[in-house]
Structures are given as C-alpha cells and as structure tokens.
Chains A and B, each alone.
Chain A
Amino acid sequence: MLDVTFGIPLVVLSDVGQAISLLLIGGGLLWIFIRSLKAKEVDRRVVFLFIFFAVAAPILFPITFQEKATPIVKKLFDKVESLPAGSKVLIAFDFDPAMAPEVQPMANAFTRHCLVKGYKVIFMSLWATGQALLTQTLERVVKGEFPEKQEGVDYINLGYKAGNEGVLNVIVTNFRMMFPTDVNGVPLDSTAVFDGIKSCGDLDLIISVGGGKPGIKEWVLFVGDRVNVPMGAGVAAVVAPQLYPYYPKQLLGLLGGVKGAAEYESELVKHYSRFEHTDTPGLRMMGPQTLAHVVIMAFIVIGNISYFIGRRRERRR
C-alpha cells in the first residue's frame, strides 16, 4: 500500500468509540464521494451532521492525531534533545491566565522534555500573574510526574521579579544581582543548579513562553542578541507572525499557538514512551480542529467533483 502517511501512524486509537466514530465519518465521506460521481448535490444538513460529528467525536473520545512537526518546531525539539545531560536550561513563564490555555501546554512540554533528559532547569517569570501559573506547572508536572527530582539540585524556581526588560538587562551580566535567592529565600550560591552560572551567558538554552510584552521579543533583544545563547520560544497564535523574522537566526525554533504545542507534544510522545499516558492538551485540542478541517476540505473536493461531472453531462446533452 502506498505510504500516504510518510511513516507516521494515521491516528492514535485507544478505544472502540474512537474507531467507530472515525469509521462513521470516513465511511460517510466515502459514500458521499461515490454519490458525487453521479453529480448529486449533498443536502446542507448532511454537511452540518458531519461537522457536528467531526467536532463532537474527538471531544467525547479524545482522538489525537499524530502531528508531524514542522521544521520550526522540529529544530527546537532536536536542540533540546541533543544537549548533554546536566545542561542548564532556563524556562521563562511570561504569560497570564488569559493566554494560559494556549501556551501553558508548551511550557509543560518543555519542562517534561528537559527533566526527562536530566537537565538542570531554571524557572522564572517576568509577569506578576505568571508566578501562579509557574507554581501550577511545578506542582503538577515537576513534583507530580518527576518526584525523584530535587529542588535546588535538578531545578530551581526564581519566581517573579518586577522590572520587565530591566531584569533581563541585569541577568545578562549577573544573575545574583537580580536574584540573590530563589523564590523560597534560598541563596543561589548554596544551590547545585547555579553552580557555575554567573550570567545568562553560562546557560545552554533559554526558552521563553509567552505572548505579550515583555516576552520573546525582549528576551531576544536584551539577552539572545547580547550573549551567544541558543533561544527557543512558545507563543500565542496571534503574535507568532510577528516573531517569524527572528527565525532561524535569533530563535532556534518557535511554537505558535495550539498547533505548535501539539506538534511538540507529538514529538515528545513519539520519543518517550513514558509520556504515552500523560495529558497532552495541545494534541487534544487539535483533534476537533483537524477532523473538522479535513471534513470541510473533503466537502469542497466533493462539491467540485459533482460540479464538473454535472457540467460535462450538461454539455453532452
């Protein structure tokens, strides 16, 4: 059989509901396609029904499609994948609750990836409202999924610091001037994570997750451009186009919106079997989207086929 999927399994199925609903949608489309060859028009209610199923089925039976990572995501994933164990990675949570549904899955995926690779992770936030979301990730992902990791040894939470890009201006030369201690008041010098880190230049990778100001742009301008540290980012879909110009020179890779998150999660699940049963909100949210888009596109194709066949028939007459 022709490998139309380019080596990726079509869809990850785990229960009967998923299989039945996909069969229903696929079979239905096929039936309509065959009808369209006789130049029959489809009633719009049929289109409505398909859209309803295409959206409802993945919600009821979380169908996740394997996302093929686009180069802009893949490059970042490969970079995180290829660092040596013990590398120092900074993840910045520069977002607020309004943006969180879109970008927090990315932050969680980055966190999982870094921890599973055994890197030392530094968490911080330039947004006052980001601190609570950072704590959420620490509780659920770090402490919940990686109980063996120790605070201070494997990761550290610097928390929120006021001053926007001013903070970056300082940590680019000296972390301790801005953060004498971590969020719990432990001096940085006494932590293993900060052993050998003076400034941002001593990090191996910086990942900023956000979508507003200060955010990725500020990280690039104030840190990335000044010290030679690779940078990656995850952003809300609306701001992604403004950041494309930074790729691939100033940003190694960029995750834009739910789709970017889904692609990264997909890569993560593909590489690490331990994440097979972790919640992947990016992929989950992409299920209805993908299916609905496919259905709409299928109907456009079907419509054109019946249109052309009908026209040819009329000409013959």
Chain B
Amino acid sequence: MKCKSLVILLFVCGFFALAAAEEGSGPPDSTHVDSIPPPTPVSMLTARDSENDHGHSVTLMWELSTDDGAGQNSVLSYEIFRWVPFFMDTLQSIRDSLAGAEGTIAEQLRKRRDQAIAMIPGAHKSYPEQGGWRKIGTALSGQSSYEDVGVKDRGSPDYMADHTDYYYLVDAVTADPAIRAPSEIVGPVQSFGQFFNTGRIPVFVAVLVFGLLTILFVTRARRGAELYVRPLAGIEAVDDAIGRATEMGKPILYVLGLGSAADIGTIASFTILGRVAKRVAEYQTKLIVPCYDPIVMTVAQETVKAAFLDAGRPDDYYEDIVYFVTQSQFAYVAAVNGTMLRELPATNMYMGVFFAESLILAETGALAGSIQIAGTDQVAQLPFFIVACDYTLIGEELYAASAYLGREPILLGSLKAQDYAKAAVIILAALGLLAASLNWTAFINLFSVTS
C-alpha cells in the first residue's frame, strides 16, 4: 500500500517538477540593465530555530547591505527565499482536492495527506535536487532579521514541518525588482518546539515567590495569629445598608456585573454576595439578583442557596431570587434600570466587572433614592462609580472585601501576603529607579519578560 502511494507521489512530483521548471523558479537574475547599479548583498546570514516557541518557525538574521541607508542607498527591501522541494506541490494538490472532497474519498485523501506530511523531512534531504527557491517573505530596508513562521495546522498550505532541513537565502532588492543581489545560502536548519519558555523565567520566579508567601501567611493565620485590618468605609456600609432595607421594608438589589464566572472580579463578587445573602436571610429582607451571564446565574443561585442554609432559613430560599435577564449589555441595563424604578430598592450593590453601563446604573439608582455601594476592578469605570455612588471599593478593595466581611483568619492571612507583596513592589520600584538613573540595565533586564 505504502509502495503504491509512493509511486503515485513520484509521478505527480515529476509532473510538478516539469511545470515548475517551465515557470522558472529561483531568484531572477539581474540581467536587466537600468540606471540603478546592483546593490551589495547582505552578509553574515544566519538561520536558527526560533526560541521559546512551539516549533514550526525559523529565525534569519543578517547584516544589512552596505547600500541600505548608506552607500548608494538603493536597497528598498529584502526578499527571503526558502528552498522548497517539488514534492510540496504534490502535497498541496492533495490538500486542494481534499478541500472539495466528501465522504470516503475525503477520508482516503486525508490519509494520503498525512502520509505525504510524514515524507516532508525526507523530501528536503534531496537538496539541491528536485526543488527550487521560493519567495516566502519580505523585510523592509533597515531590518536585519526575519522570522519564517509556519503554521502547525496540517491542512494549511503554510504548514511548516518540524525536524526538517531547511535552506534559505536573502536577496537585497532595489526599486527595480530585476536589480537585486542574492546572499550566500544558509542551511540546513531545523525547527522544533521547546519545553520551557526561558523568556518567562521572571514570571515563573514571581509565581513561586507569591505562592510561597500566600501559603506561609495562610498557615500562620490558621495557627491563630492576630491580624489587624484597617477599616473600609464601603464594607462597613454593607451592614448598615441591610439594616436600613429591613427597617424600610424594601429590597436589596445586588448586581454582579457583566463579567463571566471566569473573571476573578466576579468570583470575588460571589463571595460578597454570599455574605450579603446570609445577613439578608437573617433579617428576612428581600434580595434581587438579576444576572447577565447564565453561568454566573448558576453559581449565584448556589451561593445564595448555601447562604440561606447557613443562616438557618432554607425555607425562605426560592430559585427566582437570582434570575437571568439576557446576555446583551444594554438590554440587561434596560431591565435592571426598570427594576430599580419599579421595586425602589433601599440599597443597590454593584460588585464585579462593569463597563460603560456603570454610570447608567448608578445614576438611575440615585434617581430611585437608593443607597449605593459599588466595587469594581475595571479602572476605566471607577471614576463613574466614585462620582455617582455613596461608597466605592476601588480595585483591590473589591478582592479584600470578601476577607473583611467573613473575618475568617485564613482569608485575612492572604491579605497580609498581598501587603508584603506591595511592600516588595515599593522596594523594587525604588531599586529600579536607582537602576534606571545609574543605567544598571542588568537589574532592569531581570524583570523583562521577553515572550
């Protein structure tokens, strides 16, 4: 079977070899005479596997032609060529016919394609026979590197096989495309994927440091170390607000924002919702939680249900405390606005991820005469909440809120870890300042994440 397909492939190869020969492959010769004298070629061309990637890519580097930006200043661009065996055309023809095929034929073709792909490294071994140079890209004048990035998708014509011998050359090209100067050929070079991204070592170190710091403080807090936390006005307002709602006999509106359950801001909001729901259950106040995201709704239902259970009032819970509205930003806002003016809640809480609707909600809430407490990690929306709400938890305070409300030592312990990280930031910033002023690039480079 394998032998048979090989014969077919060779036959097709031959056909394409003829076709390609007729087309005239390779960089055109500079026979055309014009006013522009031929430029000098690039020098020191090197090729190697691109670092810190998934493979399928080769990086070329060279020294500029002396006529680029200097000398005759005639070089407009560089054209990059790769040696491509004719066999790749065969492969492409299989891909083309596969695109239009259906059913069992498609399955056979796919098998054939995968066999052909396995043969790519072998086909490149025949260099410089049975193949030709093909332009793969252009670099502008002044650029001295080019990354030949292929894709990993086998169905794509840009697929670039790993562990294959590639050969490259670079032409210095003038305004007249016929006038150009080819470089030396480099190769063979192979591309392959790496298992560790060395460009991300600083992040790795930070992960370890931060992880250890958190674990350290959490275990310390578990052992019962006393921790001070400064008061936050927004948090203290939560209890008052629930009390006020109970007195007035009006509901509390809790808006989780437009985030998905994947946003950390929303997750922090769930924890706050849990605390609020527990108090609400204790005071027997009405709670309204309209949701934008269905998964958020599901989680919020779980949270509220558990809070009512915790408060010893599971019978007061009903599913429609938390309900879904729609997954469209302004339709959601329109509905919440309507709810505010019809139910006239005593307190509106906006906790989580918000976008442009922040001000629409907060102003309508103010119109309805509700006390408003907001908290978001969206920096762009903070000004509007600050202006229109009574209390606003700024950025990090939103995350701290769950620890504050719960007063659980473990959660407070992680706050302490964050404070230490902040102290470290201040020290690092001061050191970095010194480094930048005194040109200690080595120190600055310690923090640069390169890929």
Query: In the complex they form, do A and B come into direct contact, defined as C-beta atoms under 8 angstroms apart?
Result: yes
Nearest opposing residue in chain A for B69, CB measure:
A169
Chain B 49-74 per-residue mask, 1 if CB under 8 angstroms from chain A, else 0: 00000000000000000000100011
In the bound complex, residues from chain A placing their C-beta under 8 Å from that of B69 are 169
Central interface residue in B74, B76, B142, B175, by most chain A CB within 10 Å? B175
- B140 in the interface (beta carbon within 8 A): yes
Interface residues of B (CB under 8 A from A): 36, 69, 73-74, 76-77, 140-142, 174-175, 367
* Shortest beta-carbon distance from B172 to chain A in Å: 12
Check A169 against B175 for contact (C-beta < 8 Å).
no
Check B76 against A169 for contact (C-beta < 8 Å).
yes
Chain A 81-123 per-residue mask, 1 if CB under 8 angstroms from chain B, else 0: 0000000000000000000000000000000000000000000
* Shortest beta-carbon distance from B444 to chain A in Å: 21
Given contacts A163-B76, A163-B77, contact A169 B36 (CB under 8 A): no
In the bound complex, residues from chain B placing their C-beta under 8 Å from that of A165 are 140, 142
In the bound complex, residues from chain A placing their C-beta under 8 Å from that of B141 are 166, 169
The one of A44, A164, A177 that contacts B74, using a Cβ cutoff of 8 Å = A177
In the bound complex, residues from chain B placing their C-beta under 8 Å from that of A42 are none
Check A166 against B140 for contact (C-beta < 8 Å).
yes
In the bound complex, residues from chain B placing their C-beta under 8 Å from that of A173 are 73
**A177–B35 CA distance with the chains assembled, in angstroms:** 9
- A72 in the interface (beta carbon within 8 A): no
Central interface residue in A164, A170, A178, by most chain B CB within 10 Å? A170
Check B36 against A177 for contact (C-beta < 8 Å).
yes
5 nearest A-B pairs in the assembled complex, by CB-CB distance: A177-B175, A166-B140, A169-B141, A173-B73, A166-B76
**Which A35-79 residues sit within 8 Å CB-CB of chain B?**
44
Given contacts A44-B367, A169-B69, A177-B36, contact A164 B175 (CB under 8 A): no
* Shortest beta-carbon distance from B77 to chain A in Å: 5
**A177–B179 CA distance with the chains assembled, in angstroms:** 12
Check A170 against B142 for contact (C-beta < 8 Å).
no
**A163–B73 CA distance with the chains assembled, in angstroms:** 15
Nearest opposing residue in chain A for B173, CB measure:
A166
**A165–B138 CA distance with the chains assembled, in angstroms:** 13
**Which A153-195 residues sit within 8 Å CB-CB of chain B?**
163-166, 169-170, 173, 177-178
In the bound complex, residues from chain B placing their C-beta under 8 Å from that of A177 are 36, 74, 174-175
- 26 A-B pairs with C-beta separation under 8 A: A44-B367, A163-B76, A163-B77, A163-B140, A164-B140, A165-B140, A165-B142, A166-B77, A166-B140, A166-B141, A169-B69, A169-B73, A169-B76, A169-B140, A169-B141, A169-B142, A170-B73, A170-B76, A170-B175, A173-B73, A177-B36, A177-B74, A177-B174, A177-B175, A178-B76, A178-B175
Nearest opposing residue in chain A for B73, CB measure:
A173
Nearest opposing residue in chain B for A45, CB measure:
B367
In the bound complex, residues from chain A placing their C-beta under 8 Å from that of B140 are 163-166, 169
**A63–B367 CA distance with the chains assembled, in angstroms:** 33
In the bound complex, residues from chain B placing their C-beta under 8 Å from that of A169 are 69, 73, 76, 140-142
**A25–B36 CA distance with the chains assembled, in angstroms:** 68
Chain A 21-35 per-residue mask, 1 if CB under 8 angstroms from chain B, else 0: 000000000000000
**A177–B175 CA distance with the chains assembled, in angstroms:** 6
* Shortest beta-carbon distance from B168 to chain A in Å: 21
